[in-house]
Structure 1
């Protein structure tokens, strides 16, 4: 297919106009980023959002890869002098990789097979007699006699006939129609079974799969990934089961075109041999790979959704934060950061076993709170977190007696990835004088103030809100998570004068080296006063500036629009709009009511025409004039802060609590309700009397504050069942 045909095909599949697809392809080929296109090129793309744009991008990449594969296959077959006009046309018209590889299968170079050896013995003509089924009278052995040869180890006609069936079996295996028929049968009727490996004696996490069976068409993604891991760890044996008799009858119907042929019984033997020796092993591998690919895609999408929700957690501003990385033997690492995230002081305390230096630790914590005016304590949720939480809750309660008006709370925060960050080059660059153990608690504290700014420093796979993320296709996972991080960073925008190199790297159009150059410029020349100064940075030409400028913010800069999502290319139109309605562009914050009243009632189409811009651009301008410098995270619910702690023994069935969603998976969500163990809100407990829930993400997201009721408690196994209130 040509690019034009590809664009038309994608447009049809996605219910878009071919012009939209070709425009997007052209802009992406020129280097435009998805966030830039989604926000600033709506007129050109027909208003496609990020998700639609990425779908178009991925499909274009797939089809272009498919076309390259076709060229490779056509060249390979042509070099064998076996490329017929019909085969060439089939390959050119092929629209999926599976069928393409089936067409190529007979011509693919492979190890010498039984069929190849039979051909070397001169048995291909006999195989053709069997395959063509034109002979209805006589004895098959009579036709095989002429192939008897001591040289070729064919001592009798029966041996020759049997050997020729190896060729027929391979023709059956290479039949595109037959392989498609068997694929359909497998998907409709096959069962996937798993059994425990008898040599495994200890308890494992795979006990529910020790005697597991489910139709292939009903298996769930998380089950596929669990079976794969159990098989990989040699705990489970997994196999495909199909009704062999019925399947062979169905395949015979395709292969055998004349029941009266004298070779029919031999052809049936060839079908059975091809089925058991070639087709089933091949298509079972293919099916398992497909199930894994689909499960990977689902798990990656789930993980990406969780990461997105975590990255977009609202920042808790104007807090001096004490971050605590809890532990037992090595002690709890403590760090104090100010309202801007600057590190002030750090130490180590030992309130947890085995030291249990509770009073000494309390003195240190109280001193730091008083010295720095700490208003919020962030406790990592790792080893020793609940013991540390109890200690901090006691400190806060004791302080209340003498300071009843003090605003001091704590919260439990995910420390996933903190150790990865603490040992990273980024952390060493930020805190060269601190050892790795003292950097993790700073990360924990900063995650409270601005989760996005801190978490972008960590490989998203280490953030800890997925399921089987280390089992899935790592290349696909990285690509998806890069898209998520890019989307989140650009949706929020960054303060050009405070953003870290890690944060700037994800801005539309910027590279790692350009991000470093921005930091160096800031350190040597001072803060940026306007967006135009970005052009002075080495590596930033007109195109990079176009891609990046709208996502950078400069509060209190020279130009009031530099702290909005309005692109510099639209400054002229924005000024004309303000002049049109008597708005003082230099004092936007003092005219909120006037701007809201004036611009909310205008005729968008008419004003856009008068300004010579598209309606989407005008809508973006109006939104940012009404809420200049708005952080889209501000409208989200703030994290749950606590002042006291509960133990598992305090819980009882029927108790109603408030909790924070920590992770969302296929079968439900894990919720922090303030005790040592997160509770499981199973998908079956999410409906609240409504219709059946098929996806937990339809109900809850990572970071949500929800009200739950305890349904059951298994203290021995540390499990808590929850339902939505």
Structure 2
């Protein structure tokens, strides 16, 4: 397995072997990636997850092989050749193809023919003798008592047996599947061409299987599922017939025409439907993996948005009929007050709403208004811009945030525990306000798939999606690190080695005993055993603890290395955090120093970086979101106009950018930069601040097309 994984992923066998060992010992991927770099040769999280996934697949494959071998052996049909073929198979599909002839089948035309004693006749036909007449031979098997009333019936039964045998042949199935994938054409038609739907582009649609992009595969799958489209794969059967004939027809014989007819029947009736199903299954799996990959990438970018700290925030959950819910939170996210106003249609109580906004802003010193991007958000934005202009405070601004999942959180048990006295919409406003103060801490409270930053996330395997998104959240949380004295159970539960029970126990221990003053205290938390402690402790921070190292990503197992380092350089631990120390550490040669300290170079490199910037939040290096004070209208836009925007979503064919109008503008993949772009994610990520130029405006559809290629670079 290690050799197979190493070859597939292009990694050294020693690195794979060490990773497998570490995983089998119960180590988590964030822990291995950060604290076992020497053992794995500095493999990153993605490579480690790829190894884990392939290992799981190959182990399942091994179990299936053993099961298949056992069943065939019990039938007394296991040959050495078959045992070897099953042993060499590297895909589950190959094992299933080899097992297919031995699988217990439900009643088929071939099984009925076998029950009637026609297998010897089928074998006679397959011998392809140079002499003899098929009907004459078949007449010997005509027996009304066995349900065979004529030579023709006997011959038809023999042909059914041969057709099933051809359809069960692993080499034929594999070749046809590959040929269908390479040469097949997906054909999509409307079940009712007069019916209007979002799938009209696919009412008369053809595209080669090999060229169909993931988003179109998932679109036609959904259209078919909703009973609007009829979808199939077209393939010229002539080459398939020729391949099967070369494999089975030995040359001229009295049964040659018969075998050619069997080949056509076997392909059309048994092989083609199965091959189409399998190829479409592979297409769907490929498309799902791509959709999940996009969702995961977008989610990671969203989770790692830089926090907006040190501001009192007014959160606004916009709506029409039920009014805009308001929630003011202080710099730490503590809820101060909630209210409701009705500045949007149909109520249009703008004067009363403006008075309430101004009252809350003055009362609490609000410096940032955050508006969710849901229903009524643009009308609320227009109203907010007018209020800001009226107040005239240059330090007051507003921001639109993605509110996806806020309603899911608001109705959750967690939100009820957090805000028992608020209604659902008021909780949502508080969540929206907190999203800018610490996006990660707030978004982990929401089921990852409810944060809509992908494409077709509801059409993919939900189990695979949940596993991938959980891994993304876990990766983001451990990348940033968690303040053990302020983190919620939701946030703590994503720390490596910490489950939901341990997370609750940490918070309970904190509430009963006061703030943690050292990492060592966590060893007293119930259910947090030695292995869990080892896995989680490097990611948990104690910012104002007794030991200055407890606020860094340095693992306690490396504290003796730090002591040795400071002795070697004749430095004082109390200087951690000073500019002078940072400069001195930056000037060191990690390779030479590692040798003197008898420690791995990757570990020492991480230690030196952590000591130069203790307590650093890696998100602080990212640009802050764009704050606005005024609003744009679609009618204001002109081709060539330069704007600043925020990337809201990245998909296969481009990126949607918030430029401050009602709908996000689309930058097509061809307009992200000059030259070829393999995928938009190679250029932009969710949350990026970008400069765009208007290409075109469709006022009727409310659509804006944008480009990121500066006009002087040859853009239209």
> What residue in structure 1 maps to residue 344 of structure 2?
352
* Aligned counterpart in structure 2 of residue 293 of structure 1, from 276, 285, 298: 285
Aligned to 1:612: 598
Between 391-400 and 643-652, report the one with greater CA deviation: 643-652
Given candidates 103, 107, 120, the residue that maps to 2:98 is 103
**Aligned match for 1:559, one of 534, 547, 551:** 547
Aligned to 2:607: 621
**Counterpart in the other structure of 1:722:** 706
Given the alignment, which residue of 322, 328, 331 partners 1:336?
A: 328
Shift of 1:303: 0.5
Determine helix, strand or coil for the equivalent of 1:543: helix
1:129 aligns with 2:124: yes
Determine if the alignment matches structure 1 residue 254 to structure 2 residue 252: no
How far apart, in 2, do the equivalents of 1:355 and 1:139 lie?
A: 90
Contact 2:575/2:581 (CA < 8 Å) preserved in 1?
no
1:180-239 residue CA offsets vs partner (Å, 9 max, x unmatched): 2212221221100101112x6443211111111011111110110000000011111111
Which one is further off, 636-645 or 12-21? 12-21
Alignment of 1:116-265 (within 5 A): 116-133=111-128, 135-198=129-192, 201-256=194-249, 258-265=250-257
Residues in 2 aligned to 1:712 and 1:606: alpha-carbon distance in whole angstroms: 58
What is the aligned counterpart of 1:9 among 4, 18, 29?
A: 4
Task: Tell me if 1:713 matches 2:701.
Answer: no
The CA deviation at 1:456 is 0.5
8 Å CA contact retained: 1:335, 1:445 = yes
- Once the 2 structures are TM-superposed, how far is the Cα of residue 255 of structure 1 from its aligned partner? 1.9
1:115 aligns with 2:102: no
Selected match of 1:466 from 432, 436, 454: 454
Conserved 8 A contact 1:118-1:124: yes
The separation in 2 between residues aligned to 1:215 and 1:202, in whole angstroms, is 26
1:125 Cα shift?
0.6
Is 1:425 aligned to residue 413 of structure 2? Answer: yes
Q: How many residues align?
A: 709
Counterpart in the other structure of 1:410: 398
Q: Secondary structure at the match of 2:395?
A: coil
Q: Could you say which residue in structure 1 is the equivalent of 2:38?
A: 43
Which of 395, 420, 423 aligns to 1:435? It is 423
The answer for the alignment partner of 1:3 in structure 2 is: none
1:506 aligned residue: 494
Aligned residue among 568, 574, 577 for 2:565:
577
Residues of 2 paired with 1:606 and 1:393: CA distance?
A: 58
Equivalent residue runs for 1:29-68 within 5 Å: 29-68=24-63
Task: Give the Å deviation of 1:132.
Answer: 2.6
Per-residue deviation, residues 625-652 of structure 1 (Å, max 9, x unmatched)? 1111111111111111100001111112
1:90-146 per-residue CA deviation (whole Å, 9 max, x = no partner) reads: 11221111111000001111211100000011110110111232x111321121111
Contact 2:320/2:344 (8 A) holds in 1: yes
The reply on whether 1:603 has 2:596 as its aligned counterpart is no
Query: Matched residues in 2 for 1:138 and 1:106: separation?
Result: 29
1: CA distance, partners of 2:195 / 2:230: 16
Runs of 4+ in 1 over 6 A off after TM superposition: none
For 2:401 and 2:143, locate their aligned partners in 1 and report how far apart those are by CA, in whole Å.
79
Q: Deviations over 1:327-364 (max 9, x none)?
A: 00000000000000000000100000111000101100
Instruction: State the Cα deviation string for residues 36-76 of structure 1 (Å, max 9, x = none).
Output: 00000111111111111111111111110000001111111
Deviates more, 1:366-375 or 1:24-33: 24-33
Q: Is the 8 A contact 1:457 1:502 kept in 2?
A: yes
Cα distance in 1 between the residues matched to 2:473 and 2:342: 37
Q: 1: CA distance between counterparts of 2:308 and 2:115?
A: 77
Residue 680 of structure 1 aligns to a residue whose secondary structure is strand
The TM-score, its normalising length taken from structure 1, stands at: 0.96
Task: Give the CA deviation at 1:394.
Answer: 0.3
Q: Displacement, 1:609?
A: 2.1
